[in-house]
Structure 1
Amino acid sequence: MASRDYFSTLRQLVAADKVASEELENFVVIGNAYRRYALGVAQVAVAGILVLSGCSQNTESDLGAKKVSGIVKVDGIASNLPEALKQSGELTVGVSLPYMPNEFKDSSGRIIGFGVDLMDAVSTVLGLEPKYVESPFEKIIPNIQVGTYDVGLASMTDSKEREKQVDFTTYFRAGTQWAQQVGSPVDPTSACGKKVAVQATTLQDTEEIPAKSNACVAAGKPPIDKRAYSEQSDAANALVLGQVDALSADSPVITHAIKYSGNKIESSGPLFDTALYGWPVAKGSPLATVLQAAVKHLIETGKYLEIATNWGVQEGVIKESQINGATN
C-alpha cells in the first residue's frame, strides 16, 4: 500500500505535468479496486480522481468519512420490526458498488459512503446489525422479491414503475447533473452528436439520454452517442480521459467527481429532474414503515443532517421520509 506522502507527491507531479511514462508505475484505482498499470502522462492525468478515491487514508480523511456518534437503539421503533428480523438481529442489505460518495469501498475493502453511514445509523436505531452483500444494481430488486435481501442500498430512484415490484422508503433527494471537461462546454439541453457517458441501467441511461437523443433525431440532427458503463467510476474516468464529451449522473456523483478530478472536469450547469432515492423492500412488508420511523427519528435528532454534511451531500436532505413517494 502506498503511503499518504506518496500520493500527495504524485498529485503534485501530475498537476505540474512533470511525470514521464518511463518514470512512473503507479496503482490506478478504478472502482476502488487496485490494478497495476504502467502509466503515460495522458493516463496519469486521471490519477487525481482515481487515486483519491482509492487510498485508504485519503478515502476516509479527505472525504470526511468519520462516523457520527450518539446514535442508539430506540425500543419504541425496533419493537415494530418483523418478527424474523427481531429473532435474527441482522439486516441483510443488498448493495451496489461503487457509486461514490454514497456506496463504495476503501482500499481495505470496507464498504463506506453516505448511504452506508445512514443505513448503519438506521440499523442502530432498530437494534440490528447490517450485513452488506454486494450485488449488481439490476439484481437488487429481484433478490428482494425472493427474500435474499431484506432491503436494497443503491442510490435507487423511487419510480412508479419500480413501485410495481417493491415498496420504497425514501431518504434523500437527488437530481441529474452533467459534467464536462474544463474549457469544453456541453449544453445538456442541446447535446446532439455528443458522446455522453452514463452508468448502465440508471435513469440517465434508460430514460434521460434516449429521450434527448430521440428529440435530436426528430429535429433532423445527429443522435446523442450514449456510452453506457457498468460502473459509475468507469463513466467518470472516461470523461477525465477525454473519451467522451460529457457525463450525466446523479448530482452527488457529479459533485464528488468534480471535487476529486484534479481540476480536469467541471459542471455543465445546474441539476434538473430531481427525484427521491429510496430503500426498496418487499412489496407489502412492514419493514418499510419501520425504516421510515427510523429516518424520522434521525431527522428529528439532527443525526441525519450530520451524516449528510459529513459527506458533502447536505443539499439533498429531505424533511420527511415517505413510503412510495414517486411522482412519475
Structure 2
Amino acid sequence: MTFSRPVLRPALGILLSATLLTGCVTNHETGNPEGWEPITPAAVDEIAAMVPPEISAKGYLTMGTNPPFAPFEFKDSEGNIIGLEIDLGRALASVMGLELRPVEQDFSKILPAVSAGTIDFGGTGFTDTEERRANYDFVNSLYAGVQWAQQTGDHVDPNNPCGLTVAVQRTTVSETDDVRPKAEQCLAEGKEPIEVLAYDTSDNAATALVLGRADALSADSPVTSWAIERANGKIETTGEMFQAAPYGYAVPKGSPLGPALGAAMQHLIDTGEYARLLQQWNIHEGYLDRALINEQPLGTKD
C-alpha cells in the first residue's frame, strides 16, 4: 500500500519543525539541523560519463521540488530551499560532476515538467508507484512508512490502541488507512473507542502529543523522526514502522539519466555518504543497501 505526500499531497505539504523554547513542534524553522555539514563528494569520471550529453554540456541538474515538506524540502529563515532531498540530490549531482539547481514548482506541475524536459528530474517526496512507473522511472532514495510516537516513557502499543487519543494530520493515510480503521475495529469489538484528533498540519498533531493532549501520534516515519528531533526529548517512537513504500526521484521513462543517478546513488551507498546524509536529518530506518530504480537493482528489468 502506498501512502504519504504523492497520494495525499494537499494534506502533507507542511513544514514540520520546532522551537526548543517550549518543546513544541511549530511552523518556524531557521535552517539545517544541528551538526549539519554539506556532503558534496568528488566527481567519479565513469559515472559522469553516463550523464546525457545535453546535461553534461550545461554543467548542472535542475530538480523540480515543492516545499514545504520537512524534512525532505522546506525553506530556511532566509528563503533558501533546504532539506534531505535537496542534500541527497546535491550529493548525487556532485558524484556526476554537476551542480544541483532546485526549482520550486507547484506539486502538480513537476511530473509534467519532467515529461516536457523543462526540468531534468523531480524530487519532492514522490512515492514510487506502479501507476507512475508507466511514464517515469524512479531512482529510489529510501523506504518510509507509518510510524507512531508517544510521550517519552509511556507504553503505547499501536497494535492495541483502543481507548487512546491519537493525533494525526487530516486526510493523510495515517488518518484514513491507519487510525480510522483501527477506531472502527475497536467499536466493532465493543472496546473503548479511539479519540482521533485530526489537524490540518503535522506540526500541530505533533504538538498535541508533546503537550499531552494526545496519547500518540501517527505520521509518515520521516515526519515522525523530524518531530522527535525537534521536540527536545519529550516524545519518542513506539512500535515498528509499517506500510513501508519507496520514495524516489522521478526521471522520464527510459531516460539515461536514471542509470546515471542510480550509479551515483550506489557510489554514495558504498562510500557511506548516503547513510551519513540521512543520519544528519535524523532518519535511521528505511535505508537502501543497494541502488534501486523502480525497486529493481541497477541493470535489471522491472
Scaled by the length of structure 2, the TM-score of the pair is: 0.75
**Which protein has greater RCO, CA pairs closer than 8 Å, 6+ apart?**
2
Q: Determine the structure 2 residue equivalent to 1:174.
A: 144
Partner SS, residue 239 of structure 2: coil
One of 24, 30, 50 as aligned partner of 2:26:
50
Instruction: Provide, for residues 212-242 of structure 1, a one-character-per-residue CA deviation record: whole Å limited to 9, x for no partner.
Output: 456557657768747363x543443454456
Q: Specify the code of the residue in structure 2 equivalent to 1:134.
A: E
Where do residues 137-176 of structure 1 align in structure 2 (5 Å cutoff)? 137=107, 139-176=109-146
Mapped to 1, the partners of 2:170 and 2:97 lie a distance apart of 34
Mapped to 2, the partners of 1:175 and 1:141 lie a distance apart of 23
Partner SS, residue 316 of structure 1: coil
Contact 1:65 1:113 in 2 (8 A): no
C-alpha distance 292-44 of structure 1, shift in aligned 2 (>3 A): closer
Q: Determine the structure 1 residue equivalent to 2:99.
A: 129
Q: Determine the structure 2 residue equivalent to 1:273.
A: 243
Scaled by the length of structure 1, the TM-score of the pair is: 0.69
Task: Work out the percentage of aligned pairs sharing the same amino acid.
Answer: 40
Q: Determine the structure 2 residue equivalent to 1:295.
A: 265
Where do residues 115-264 of structure 1 align in structure 2 (5 Å cutoff)? 115-137=85-107, 139-181=109-151, 186-191=156-161, 194-198=165-169, 203-204=173-174, 207-209=177-179, 211-212=181-182, 215=185, 225=196, 227=198, 229=200, 231-240=201-210, 246-264=216-234
C-alpha distance 324-203 of structure 1, shift in aligned 2 (>3 A): farther
Quick check: which one's helix share is greater?
A: 1
Contact 1:91 1:131 in 2 (8 A): yes
C-alpha distance 141-249 of structure 1, shift in aligned 2 (>3 A): farther
Contact 1:197 1:244 in 2 (8 A): no
Mapped to 2, the partners of 1:182 and 1:112 lie a distance apart of 29
Comparing 181-190 with 156-165, which one deviates more in the overlay? 181-190
Asked if 1:31 corresponds to 2:15, the answer is yes
Mapped to 2, the partners of 1:159 and 1:78 lie a distance apart of 28
C-alpha distance 98-204 of structure 1, shift in aligned 2 (>3 A): same
Mapped to 2, the partners of 1:170 and 1:177 lie a distance apart of 20
Partner SS, residue 233 of structure 1: helix
Contact 2:74 2:81 in 1 (8 A): yes
One of 282, 285, 288 as aligned partner of 2:252:
282
C-alpha distance 295-225 of structure 1, shift in aligned 2 (>3 A): same
Q: CA deviation at 1:169?
A: 0.8
Partner SS, residue 264 of structure 2: helix
Q: CA deviation at 1:168?
A: 0.8
Q: Determine the structure 1 residue equivalent to 2:37.
A: 66
One of 276, 292, 302 as aligned partner of 1:322:
292
C-alpha distance 309-179 of structure 1, shift in aligned 2 (>3 A): closer
Asked if 1:98 corresponds to 2:74, the answer is no
Q: CA deviation at 1:67?
A: 1.3
Larger Rg: 1
C-alpha distance 269-287 of structure 1, shift in aligned 2 (>3 A): same
C-alpha distance 44-54 of structure 1, shift in aligned 2 (>3 A): closer
Partner SS, residue 269 of structure 1: strand
In structure 2, stretches of 5+ residues that fail to align are: 1-13, 297-302
**Equivalenced residues, count:** 281
Q: Specify the code of the residue in structure 2 equivalent to 1:122.
A: L
Q: Specify the code of the residue in structure 1 equivalent to 2:76.
A: D
Contact 1:49 1:262 in 2 (8 A): no
Mapped to 2, the partners of 1:88 and 1:282 lie a distance apart of 19
Comparing 191-200 with 286-295, which one deviates more in the overlay? 191-200
C-alpha distance 195-122 of structure 1, shift in aligned 2 (>3 A): same
Mapped to 1, the partners of 2:242 and 2:282 lie a distance apart of 19
Q: Determine the structure 1 residue equivalent to 2:9.
A: none
Mapped to 2, the partners of 1:213 and 1:118 lie a distance apart of 38
In structure 1, stretches of 5+ residues that fail to align are: 1-29, 35-42
Mapped to 2, the partners of 1:77 and 1:49 lie a distance apart of 41
C-alpha distance 299-262 of structure 1, shift in aligned 2 (>3 A): closer
